[in-house]
Structure 1
């Protein structure tokens, strides 16, 4: 699958300004709205779908959930500064690379911790979660 930006087409999804999530109820509501949006806008044949959070201080975090409920985070090098927060919120050690795999019961704490750092969010498809990245062209 080729990225929309690589083909010169207008981006399919646009960034949405982030509204801070202050408690578990806010996160649960965001999860419901996000899931509904994904069901409405992402086809069954598409892979690598999730959400991209652009951080106000730099970098992106790509997030998806797996079929077994794990939370998968792909943290760009520019966002590596957020690792201590992820470790504290999820109570896990940092992985060797940029890919974090967290238990699903850590999602609410993670989102509350990250919320004040997020500038915008955007649905994504075709992101290489867990696969080697090849920038500058098709995978």
Structure 2
């Protein structure tokens, strides 16, 4: 039990630096993808990034191989829904899971950037399995 308590967390929050241009976001995406390749095992699922919002709540984000952006928005972060609607030009989903086309990723990150306090890699998040709705 003592070893478990002294074990360092696998991932640590990283203070967010605002991304203002598409080039900034593209660079962040490249760095994020490299970090995932380095730190996520081949059999792991539910990996992505968690954005901790400065005003409260979390948004878990994962991109899929078929070109979707999954956003799992915590109830404390529902206040950010109008921004997601405006960026993605979609109606809010019935649940917490948003499924957006990948061509909205850069605009989404730019829109959220000023609201993010920190980010952290995640693994094992369920991304709302069973409640996915495509746009």
- Fold in common (TM above 0.5): yes
Cα distance in structure 1, aligned partners of 2:58 and 2:108: 15
How far does the alpha carbon of each residue in 1:66-113 deviate from its partner, in whole angstroms, 9 at most, with x for none?
Answer: 110100000000000000000001111100000000000000110000
Partner of 1:19: 17
- SS of the equivalent of 2:61 reads strand
Q: What TM-score do you get using the length of structure 1 for normalisation? A: 0.87
Greater helix proportion = 2
Q: What TM-score do you get using the length of structure 2 for normalisation? A: 0.90
RMSD (Å) for aligned C-alpha atoms: 1.2
Partner of 1:135: none
Partner of 2:133: none
Aligned length: 126
The runs of 4+ residues in structure 1 deviating greater than 6 Å are none
- SS of the equivalent of 1:81 reads helix
Partner of 2:50: 52
Show structure 1 runs of 5+ residues with no match.
Answer: 1-6, 133-139
Partner of 1:137: none
Check if 1:100 corresponds to 2:108: no
